[in-house]
Structure 1
Amino acid sequence: MNQPGWHLPGIFLPFLALVLTISGCALPSLNDRVESRSVPAEQTANTRLGAAIEPLTLAHPSESGVVLLENAHDAFAARALLAEGADATLDVQYYIWQSDITGTLLLDVLYRAAERGVRVRLLLDDNGISGLDKPLAALDTHPNIQVRLFNPFVVRSPKWIGYVTSFQRLNHRMHNKSFTADNQATIIGGRNVADQYFGAGQGAMFADLDVLAIGPVVSELSDDFDRYWSSASSYPAAIILPEPAEVDLERVVETTRECSASTEASRYVCAVAESGFLKNLLAGDLEYTWAPVSMVSDDPAKVWGEKSKNDPVSRQLAEAIGRPERSVTLVSPYFIPTETGVEMFREMESNGVQVRVLTNSLEANDVAMVHSGYAKYRKPLLEAGVELFELRKLPGGEPQEERLQKSLTGSSSSSLHAKTFAVDGKRLFVGSFNFDPRSVHINTELGFVIESPELTRMMEARFEEQVRVTAYELVLDEAGDLQWLERNGEQVITHSQDPGTGLIKRMMVSFFSFLPIESLL
Structure 2
Amino acid sequence: MPLLKRLPRPVGLLAVLVLALVLVIGCAALPSLENREPSWALPQDQARETRIGRSASEPLAAHPGLAGIHPLPNAREAFATRVLMAQMADRTLDVQYYIWRADTTGLLLLDALIQAADRGVRVRLLLDDMNTAGLDPLLRAADAHPNLDLRLFNPFVVRSARWMGFVSDFSRLNRRMHNKSFTADNLISVVGGRNVGDEYFGATEDVLFSDLDVMVAGEVVSEVSSDFDRYWGSASSYPAELILGAASQVDRDHLDDAIREVRQTERARDYLRAVERSDFVREVRESDLQLEWARTRVFSDAPGKGLGYVEEDGLLSSQLSETIGPVNRQFNLVSPYFIPTETGVAALRRMTERGIRVRVLTNSLSATDVAIVHSGYARYREDLLEAGIELYEMKPLPEHAEMARTIDSVGASATSLHAKTFEVDGNWVFVGSYNFDPRSNDLNTELGFLIESPNLARQLVATFDETVPKLAYRVRLDDDGDLYWTSETDDGTERWDTEPGTGWFKRFSVGFFSLLPIEGLL
Query: Which residue in the other structure is 2:405 paired with?
Result: none
Asked if 1:228 corresponds to 2:231, the answer is yes
Please name the residue that 1:331 is paired with: 334
Letter in 1 for 2:478: D
Aligned to 1:243: 246
* 2:213–2:431 Cα contact (<8 Å) kept: yes
Q: 2:319 aligns with which of 309, 316, 319?
A: 316
Distance between the aligned counterparts of 2:48 and 2:462, measured in 1?
Answer: 37
Listed one character per residue, the Cα deviations across residues 181-203 of structure 1 (whole Å, up to 9, x for unaligned) are 00010000000001000000221
Checking the alignment, whether the CA contact within 8 Å between 1:362 and 1:371 is kept in structure 2 is: yes
Among 83, 103, 114, the alignment partner of 2:106 is 103
Aligned residues of 1:108 and 1:253 also touching (Cα < 8 A): no
Contact residue 298 and residue 310 of structure 1 kept, 8 A: no
* Alpha-carbon distance, 1:217 to partner: 1.1
User: In structure 2, how many angstroms separate the alpha carbons of the residues matched to 1:427 and 1:216?
Assistant: 19
**Structure 2 match to 1:133:** 136
**Counterparts of 1:262 and 1:352, CA distance in 2:** 56
**1:350 offset after TM fit, Å?**
0.8
The two structures have a TM-score, normalised by structure 1, of 0.93
**Is structure 2 residue 357 aligned with structure 1 residue 350?**
no
**Partners of 1:386 and 1:10 in 2: how far apart?**
55
**Structure 2: distance between partners of 1:443 and 1:495:** 36
How far apart, in 1, do the equivalents of 2:166 and 2:26 lie?
13
How much has 1:130 moved relative to structure 2? 2.7
Shift of 1:13: 6.9
Find the counterpart in structure 2 of residue 176 from structure 1: 179
Correspondence list, 1:171-320, <5 A:
171-308=174-311, 310-320=313-323
- TM-aligned CA deviation for residue 116 of structure 1: 0.6
Aligned length: 501
Match of 1:392 in 2: 395
CA drift at 1:468: 1.7
Aligned partners of 1:382 and 1:490: how far apart in 2? 26
Tell me, which stretches of 5 or more residues in structure 2 are unaligned?
Answer: 401-413
Contact 1:100/1:194 (CA < 8 Å) preserved in 2? yes
Residues in 1 aligned to 2:304 and 2:503: alpha-carbon distance in whole angstroms? 42
**For residues 481 and 63 of structure 1, what CA distance do their matches in structure 2 show?**
48
Distance 1:130 1:215 in 2: 36
1:46 to 39, 43, 49: 49
Kindly provide the CA deviation profile for residues 255-274 of structure 1, in whole angstroms up to 9, marking residues without a partner as x: 20221121111111111112
- C-alpha displacement at 1:478, in angstroms? 1.3
When residues 23 and 217 of structure 1 are mapped into structure 2, their CA distance, relative to the original with a 3 A threshold, is same
Task: Tell me how far 1:16 sits from its aligned partner.
Answer: 6.7
Query: Contact between 1:134 and 1:248, CA under 8 Å: does it hold in 2?
Result: yes
- In the other structure, the counterpart of 2:93 is 90
For residues 15 and 330 of structure 2, what CA distance do their matches in structure 1 show? 63
Residue deviations 1:327-366 (CA, integer Å, cap 9, x gap): 0000000000111111111110111110000000000011
Aligned to 2:454: 453
Letter paired with 2:497: S
Separation in 1 of the partners of 2:199 and 2:433?
16
Q: 1:511 and 2:508 equivalent?
A: no
**Residue matched to 1:431:** 432
- Report the Cα distance in structure 2 between the residues aligned to 1:309 and 1:88, rounded to whole angstroms: 36
Contact 1:101/1:201 (8 A) holds in 2: no
1:310–1:341 Cα change, 3 Å: closer
Q: Hey, what does 2:502 align to over in structure 1?
A: 501
Q: Distance in 2 between matches of 1:275 and 1:102?
A: 16
How far off its partner does 1:437 sit? 0.6
Counterpart CA distance in 2 for 1:70 and 1:363 is: 22
Distance 1:366 1:70, change over 3 A: same
Letter in 1 for 2:235: A
1:24–1:489 distance in 2 versus 1, CA, 3 Å: same
For residues 372 and 20 of structure 1, do their structure 2 counterparts lie closer, same or farther at Cα, with a shift above 3 Å needed? Answer: closer
Q: Secondary structure at the match of 2:336?
A: coil
Structure 2 CA distance for aligned equivalents of residues 379 and 470 of structure 1 = 22
Is the 8 Å Cα contact of residues 80 and 281 (structure 2) preserved in structure 1? Answer: yes
Report the Cα distance in structure 2 between the residues aligned to 1:436 and 1:31, rounded to whole angstroms. 36
**Cα offset for 1:254?**
2.8
- Tell me, in whole angstroms, the C-alpha distance in 1 between the residues paired with 2:39 and 2:436: 34
Alpha-carbon deviation of 1:250? Answer: 3.6
| 8 Å contact kept, 1:426–1:453 | yes
SS at match of 2:150: strand
- Counterpart residue type for residue 249 of structure 2: E
Deviation at 1:25, TM superposition (A): 2.6
- 1:435-494 deviations in whole A, cap 9, x for unaligned? 001111010000000000011101111222221210000111111111100111242111
Deviates further, 261-270 or 206-215: 261-270
Q: Deviations over 1:95-135 (max 9, x none)?
A: 00010000000000000000010000000000022321111
**1:204 CA displacement:** 0.7
Which residue matches 1:115? 118
Q: Which amino acid aligns with 1:467?
A: V
Q: Is the 8 A contact 1:349 1:355 kept in 2?
A: yes
Q: CA deviation at 1:324?
A: 1.0
Tell me, in whole angstroms, the C-alpha distance in 1 between the residues paired with 2:179 and 2:361: 22
Distance 1:447 1:19 in 2: 38
The runs of 5 or more residues in structure 1 that have no matched partner are 398-412
Q: Is the 8 A contact 2:427 2:452 kept in 1?
A: yes
For the structure 1 residues 107 and 396, does the alpha-carbon distance in structure 2 shift closer, same or farther, using more than 3 Å as the test?
farther
Superposition deviation, residue 21 in structure 1: 3.5
SS of the equivalent of 1:342 reads helix
1:26 corresponds, among 26, 29, 39, to 29
1:12: how far off?
7.2
For 1:471 and 1:153, how far apart are their aligned partners in 2? 39
**What residue is the counterpart of 1:379 in the other structure?**
382
| Whole-angstrom distance in 1 between the partners of 2:20 and 2:310 | 37
Q: Which SS does the other structure have where 2:268 is aligned? A: helix
1:20-78 deviation per Cα after TM superposition (whole angstroms, max 9, x unaligned):
64144311110111110011111021111111111111111111110000000000000
Larger deviation: 304-313 or 486-495? 304-313
Amino acid in structure 1 at the alignment position of 2:209: F
**Amino acid across the alignment from 2:61:** L
TM-score normalised by length of structure 2:
0.93
Aligned-residue CA RMSD in angstroms? Answer: 1.8
Match of 1:76 among 76, 79, 96: 79
